[in-house]
Structures are given as structure tokens and as C-alpha cells.
């Protein structure tokens, strides 16, 4: 580990000189690339230098312990430093875990009603509200891209973009099947129904990250429609894109402008194509990992919302929270923090 840390520090020193070089600064694309690399290892170098300083203090205190007059003070310094070192070492191990390059990206989230008919559609609406409220807590922006609403206020499917700092790093664990157990409003006998909704969280990618041949895309336009088939407007502003090589179909109908809908649909298409490539790579890396993070294992039941017991259980980490109302109102941090910690532990074990 320490050989790796030495190499990282040497690279950091080298980068520090390079980003101050007028010739490199003049080449803005190169300078920005180096600045990004510099920033990505700054925390590791800072923590490693802290480790070396504490280690040096411990070694100096050990030498001073031979001096009778300084022994008591030196012992205090020695054991204080000795106590700090293991904690710093653990922090360094975590910092050395390769960061997910998508963590800082915005996301497109798709929620689809699964088994359970109208109750599943209502649950999809509950999940959309939950993520919207979580986004508000984080001061993120939510933009609906496409929706297929049912008559009772649920969604057969809804796609939306969330933009803000570190969105993907916090929400990437939400991909999978969410199961709800509750008595539907439409159920007169009071029986508990089990329904599901599928969530997919995809990192938004830029044009340069994935190329699409325009000849591979078939575009259709149609009139935007709301619940019950009522037309929102009388012009064909809604857009459907079909990527013929993969068969992927995306729709966007939330904007009044056909151009805006096409722009959003292209963004969704790029994101889906990127996810296919990402999934291939992640499946190889994550085949032995518990959380299948980022691999989009949407057939896996990841969480159960049990209304009668007021319990939310995440099956990947075996964690239950008994604060249903708070959770559905966007208080997700405790669960997400534990998922991040579990994933970090898995990856740390994989590095050893």
C-alpha cells in the first residue's frame, strides 16, 4: 500500500508543477484534464502526508523517552500518535479504492409499475414522490422527461432527470425491484396486497462519451397525452426515438416544443446506450460482489416496504428501518449511508 501511496504523492508533485506551467495553461483542454487528475488525488496525498507526520512524531517521541526529564511527556506523545495511526491507515485504504467515475454525474431515473396492477402504479407514484422529496433535501433539481399517468394518480412509468452535486453517488443503489406490502385504498376487505415497481438509475452522459450514428435512429412524432388519453396539446410535439441496432425506444412528451422533447429523448438514449456498455464491464467486476453496484440488476428484489409493520427492509445489507413516514418523505440518508459503507467494505476486501 505504501509503495502505491509514494507513487501517488510523486504524481501529485509532478502535476502541481505541470498545472503551473504557462505552456500547459495555454492549452485549456490539457490543463483542465490535469487539474481534474490533480484534484482526484489531492485527498489521498493530504491524508498520506498526515500519516507520515504522525509516524514521524511517534518515532521522535520514542527516541525522547530515553531522556528521564522528558520521558513522561514523550510517552504521552508516543501513545497519542500510536493511537491515531491505525485510524489514518484505514482512511488511506478507503481513499485508495478506485472511485466510480460516474459518481459526480447527474442521473436519469426510470420508475415502472410492476406486478400489482393499479396498486403497483400507485406505488410507482409513491417512489417518485419519495425521490423528489429526497432531492429537495439535497437541493437537487428534478425535471420530468416522460410520464404515463393512470387515472388514479399513479404511474405506469415515469422518467425524470436529477441534477446536482454527487447525485449518482447517492442514488445508484436504488436500481432494482422495490416491493410494497399494504392494504390498497381500493381494497374493501382490508387484505394486504403485494405489488412491485422497478427503479433504474442511469448516469447522464455527455455527447463526447458515446457516439450515435444518426442513421441508426428512427424518429416518430405524436401528440402528447395525459391520463385517460386526453391530449395536452393539439400539435405533434411528443417525440419517440428508436435506436434500430439495439431496439431501444425512448419517448419524451413533457415539453411543448418538439425540439426540446427530441433533445431530452437523445439524452435519454445516450444514457441507455452508455448503461449497456457500463453493465458489461460492471458484470465482470461485480460478479463476486454483494451489492452489484452500478450493474443495474433490475430483476433483483432489493427492498421491501411493509406498511402494516411500518418497516422498510433492504435485502442486500439486511437493514430495517421502522420510520415509514419519514422514509417516504425523503429521509433516505441513513439507508444510503449504510449501503455506501457496505459497498466500500466489499470493494476494500476485493482490493486486499
Per-residue pLDDT of the chain in tens (352 residues, 90 and over written 9): 788 899 989 999 999 999 999 999 999 889 988 998 898 889 899 999 999 999 999 999 998 998 888 888 999 999 999 999 999 988 888 888 777 778 888 999 999 999 888 899 999 999 999 999 999 999 999 999 888 888 788 999 999 999 999 999 999 999 999 999 998 866 666 788 899 999 999 888 765 566 778 888 888 887 766 544 444 445 567 888 888 888 888 888 877 778 788 888 888 888 888 878 777 666 654 544 445 443 334 456 999 999 999 999 999 999 999 999 999 999 999 999 999 988 888 877 765 5
CA angle (84 as vertex; 78, 85 as ends), nearest 5: 90
Indicate yes or no: pTM above 0.85: no
**What domains does the chain contain, in order, with CATH numbers?**
2-96 (no CATH), 107-347 (3.30.70.1660)
E strands, the chain, in order: 107-113, 141-149, 155-163, 176-182, 193-203, 217-222, 238-243, 248-252, 301-306, 311-314, 319-321
Q: What is the CA radius of gyration of the chain?
A: 26
Helix axes 333-351, 71-96, angle to 10 degrees: 90
State the DSSP code for 169.
Answer: H
Residues 97/347, Cβ–Cβ less than 8 Å: yes
CA distance 303 to 174: 9
Side-chain-facing half-sphere of 239: CA atoms under 13 Å = 22
Could you count the other beta carbons within 10 Å of the beta carbon of residue 55?
Answer: 15
Amino acid at each position: 500500500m505504501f509503495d502505491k501511496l509514494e507513487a501517488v504523492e510523486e504524481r501529485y508533485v509532478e502535476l502541481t508543477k505541470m498545472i503551473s506551467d504557462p505552456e500547459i495553461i495555454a492549452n485549456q483542454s490539457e490543463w483542465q484534464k490535469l487539474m481534474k487528475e490533480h484534484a482526484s488525488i489531492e485527498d489521498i496525498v493530504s491524508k498520506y502526508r498526515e500519516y507520515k507526520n504522525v509516524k514521524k512524531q511517534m518515532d521522535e517521541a520514542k527516541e525522547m523517552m530515553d531522556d528521564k526529564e522528558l520521558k513522561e511527556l514523550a510517552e504521552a506523545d508516543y501513545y497519542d500518535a500510536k493511537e491515531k495511526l491505525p485510524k489514518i491507515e484505514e482512511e488511506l485504504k478507503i481513499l485508495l479504492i478506485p472511485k466510480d467515475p460516474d459518481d459526480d454525474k447527474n442521473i436519469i431515473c426510470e420508475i415502472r409499475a410492476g406486478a400489482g396492477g393499479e396498486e403497483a402504479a400507485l406505488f410507482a407514484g409513491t417512489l417518485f414522490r419519495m425521490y423528489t422529496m429526497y432531492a429537495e433535501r439535497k437541493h437537487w433539481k428534478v425535471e420530468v422527461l416522460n410520464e404515463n399517468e393512470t387515472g388514479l394518480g399513479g404511474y405506469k412509468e415515469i422518467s425524470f432527470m436529477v441534477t446536482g452535486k454527487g447525485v449518482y453517488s447517492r442514488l445508484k443503489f436504488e436500481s432494482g425491484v422495490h416491493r410494497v406490502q399494504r392494504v390498497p385504498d381500493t381494497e374493501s376487505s382490508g387484505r394486504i396486497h403485494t405489488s412491485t415497481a422497478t427503479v433504474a438509475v442511469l448516469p447522464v452522459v455527455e455527447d463526447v462519451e458515446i457516439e450515435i450514428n444518426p442513421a441508426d435512429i428512427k424518429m416518430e412524432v405524436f401528440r402528447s397525452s395525459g391520463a385517460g388519453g386526453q391530449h395536452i396539446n393539439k400539435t405533434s410535439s411528443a417525440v419517440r426515438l428508436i435506436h434500430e441496432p439495439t431496439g431501444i425506444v425512448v419517448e419524451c412528451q413533457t415539453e411543448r416544443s418538439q425540439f426540446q422533447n427530441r433533445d431530452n429523448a437523445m439524452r435519454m438514449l445516450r444514457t441507455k446506450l452508455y448503461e449497456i456498455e457500463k453493465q458489461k464491464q460492471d458484470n465482470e467486476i461485480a460478479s463476486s460482489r454483494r451489492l452489484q453496484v452500478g450493474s443495474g440488476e433490475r430483476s433483483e428484489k432489493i427492498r421491501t416496504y411493509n406498511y402494516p409493520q411500518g418497516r422498510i427492509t433492504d435485502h442486500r445489507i439486511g437493514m430495517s428501518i421502522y420510520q415509514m413516514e419519514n422514509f417516504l418523505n425523503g429521509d433516505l440518508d441513513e439507508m444510503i449511508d449504510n449501503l455506501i459503507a457496505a459497498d466500500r467494505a466489499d470493494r476494500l476486501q476485493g482490493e486486499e
